[in-house]
Structure 1
């Protein structure tokens, strides 16, 4: 057993730590306050090789392993939680396109994703289909040399700023989960309409709904085989859930580090707050919980790199990573006093941002169902 990172991975981590501290953290709250998606920073991450970590070198990416991708999620999460979508989304989308799309699509889209020139979202969720992704109602009807898409996607990250989306639609409604296909749909196609939400957090991510009204998508924009889209994305969730856990841990760890400095300096009854067990023990509890999640996440990423099963590890990280991170940030906010309840400090925004990922990519209950199916058996599943 070897829990160490390679020399290259340590160098990569140090580079991202410096970048996050110097260029991301000072402006983290700015984009939230202004309601702006900082596309220039997506391009900067492209220059650093972060956007294309799971994209092969021949398509402009870094061709990195999953563990290295996890390092990026953790460190970027410390500086700007919302920019970790450039890691998590692009890793998921990069794998789907690279593993399943035809060569022409790879050459058209992967270099632009890797460079940060294009932002691409993934659209599965619908008003009546979230955890039950197989229950989507959006349809794609093959007519001549196009597919005609109709439906509504909801709760989609980068809906208001995305240049294109991987849309999942029913190509054979009678087949249920086995009748779903995936398409790359440029946002500027006629019939595509995107509307944003007024969310509690994740403001710079531009979450919203995508409406598809007789959208004609060229048949060559089909990803992989018709009716195979569901299996393509289910495997990808095992990666994104691990990365989500690490981006949440990164944000929470940054709040803990900031709070430790605060309680060392702040005096109460003639002594630093850090001398009281009522401060020490909660911080130790949160630190320990986050460390456990972090190493379970890296173990899951290592298993994926080895081609081994990792669904239950992924689901455990997605279930507890956001939960423990929210609890840690909340306590840090309280320890920093009433100023941390204002928008003068980043804790309140981290709390709002991280809560969103207690929902996205599978709720706690959905992930517990995945684990139960694995350790107890499919025949005893509760749904």
Structure 2
């Protein structure tokens, strides 16, 4: 990966460590993990032991207490070897941030070290059947009953639903007309009675898995509430401003790997007595994607840098979410075509990369929603009508 203005000696060393792990440990099993439908517990623990999961979390829980940009550098490299494994890092950073800020001391002490150590995964349960992009349109109910909350309803399109040991769940404690002001967040262990999950059959991201979580009179201690009742939606929206540039870098890391492999390929493969690199129809196409990938990468890193400086980065985070997934898909598609029939099969990883990155044009906020956010930030909320 090329140096950037954000790189320091420490960041470079971390990048090298993540690259070595991704190349030697993750890349060889990328395609096989699609078939098994999981990450492999030992790989997760090794990633945790190396300090490659949620380094921005506090040292007292096993993190490095570093800046958000450290997570971006790691995810970018991890995704070069295995796109799906990079999502483990994103979930850990997103949910770890929420838990470290809002969970009670016992939950922090019991769960955060295991999350950072790669011993378990925590899912984020926001989306529902009736509200995808309309994230505040929640029907899952959470009612107070003495020292517990009782939860009923369904969450759907939840990544790692059947692999997670816990979930940050968003439920309605107010009335439907309250919209975002009536949503609360609570931490729910996945072995709680009355909770069940399913897994969907998706086009890609099989190692991650996506499914529904069903709550049937699930009783959760009231002290598992995250923050104040009715403030959960604000919490998750702030968290997404962190995870969106991480997603951008996850997609771009995979695209960068595809481009690097394709540059090497066209220098070796010959047609009509010349290397493919002699044909400008090919090299100009790759040069175009190479330029855009580097630009999108800097955009994503800048959003994380702004976060680390305590500066506004809502629009920049939204930019890093809508453009990089689309760009990565287009770049990988071009690389697949240049490699020809071998890349159309499972002989090479291009087809799987294409399927995997496509999902993030949908999940965690579509391009349309991201552009609405950018418009609101630039023109003002009142001007855009909400």
TM-score (norm 1): 0.98
SS of 1:196's equivalent in the other structure is coil
Q: State the 1:54 CA deviation.
A: 2.6
In structure 1, C-alpha distance between the alignment counterparts of 2:192 and 2:365, rounded to whole Å: 29
Match for residue 87 of structure 1? Answer: 89
After superposition, the C-alpha distances for 1:228-248 in whole angstroms (9 at most, x for unaligned) are 100001011011000000010
Q: State the 1:58 CA deviation.
A: 0.4
In structure 2, C-alpha distance between the alignment counterparts of 1:224 and 1:95, rounded to whole Å: 13
Q: How does 1:126-141 map to 2 (within 5 A)?
A: 126-141=128-143
Which residue of the other structure, out of 322, 331, 346, is the alignment partner of 2:325?
A: 322
Match for residue 252 of structure 1? Answer: 255
SS of 2:198's equivalent in the other structure is strand
Q: How does 1:192-203 map to 2 (within 5 A)?
A: 192-203=195-206
Contact 1:60/1:114 (8 A) holds in 2: yes
Structure 1 segments (4+ residues) deviating >3 Å: none
In structure 2, C-alpha distance between the alignment counterparts of 1:157 and 1:256, rounded to whole Å: 27
Match for residue 366 of structure 2? Answer: 363
Q: State the 1:206 CA deviation.
A: 1.8
Q: State the 1:130 CA deviation.
A: 1.3
Q: How does 1:87-126 map to 2 (within 5 A)?
A: 87-126=89-128
Contact 2:205/2:356 (8 A) holds in 1: yes
Q: Does 1:51 align with 2:64?
A: no
Q: State the 1:26 CA deviation.
A: 1.1
In structure 2, C-alpha distance between the alignment counterparts of 1:382 and 1:254, rounded to whole Å: 41
In structure 2, C-alpha distance between the alignment counterparts of 1:98 and 1:164, rounded to whole Å: 15
Q: How does 1:15-54 map to 2 (within 5 A)?
A: 15-54=17-56
SS of 1:203's equivalent in the other structure is coil
In structure 2, C-alpha distance between the alignment counterparts of 1:313 and 1:286, rounded to whole Å: 21
SS of 1:286's equivalent in the other structure is helix
After superposition, the C-alpha distances for 1:324-362 in whole angstroms (9 at most, x for unaligned) are 000000000000001100011100000000000011110
Q: Does 1:220 align with 2:223?
A: yes
After superposition, the C-alpha distances for 1:259-314 in whole angstroms (9 at most, x for unaligned) are 11111111100000011001101101111111111001111101000111001101
Which residue of the other structure, out of 174, 179, 182, is the alignment partner of 1:176?
A: 179
After superposition, the C-alpha distances for 1:98-130 in whole angstroms (9 at most, x for unaligned) are 111222221121111111112110000001111
Q: State the 1:39 CA deviation.
A: 2.3
Match for residue 315 of structure 2? Answer: 312
Match for residue 298 of structure 1? Answer: 301
User: CA RMSD of the aligned region, Å?
Assistant: 1.1
Q: Does 1:343 align with 2:346?
A: yes
SS of 1:108's equivalent in the other structure is helix
SS of 2:169's equivalent in the other structure is strand
Q: Does 1:283 align with 2:289?
A: no
In structure 2, C-alpha distance between the alignment counterparts of 1:307 and 1:211, rounded to whole Å: 38
In structure 2, C-alpha distance between the alignment counterparts of 1:51 and 1:379, rounded to whole Å: 39
Contact 1:245/1:321 (8 A) holds in 2: yes
Contact 2:376/2:383 (8 A) holds in 1: yes
In structure 1, C-alpha distance between the alignment counterparts of 2:61 and 2:44, rounded to whole Å: 18
Q: State the 1:380 CA deviation.
A: 2.1
In structure 2, C-alpha distance between the alignment counterparts of 1:262 and 1:34, rounded to whole Å: 29
After superposition, the C-alpha distances for 1:10-48 in whole angstroms (9 at most, x for unaligned) are 100011111111111111111002323322211111111
In structure 1, C-alpha distance between the alignment counterparts of 2:37 and 2:255, rounded to whole Å: 22
Q: State the 1:382 CA deviation.
A: 5.0
Match for residue 63 of structure 2? Answer: 61
TM-score (norm 2): 0.97
Structure 2 portions without partners, runs of 5+: none
SS of 1:193's equivalent in the other structure is strand
SS of 2:136's equivalent in the other structure is helix
Match for residue 169 of structure 2? Answer: 167
Q: State the 1:53 CA deviation.
A: 1.4
In structure 1, C-alpha distance between the alignment counterparts of 2:260 and 2:268, rounded to whole Å: 13
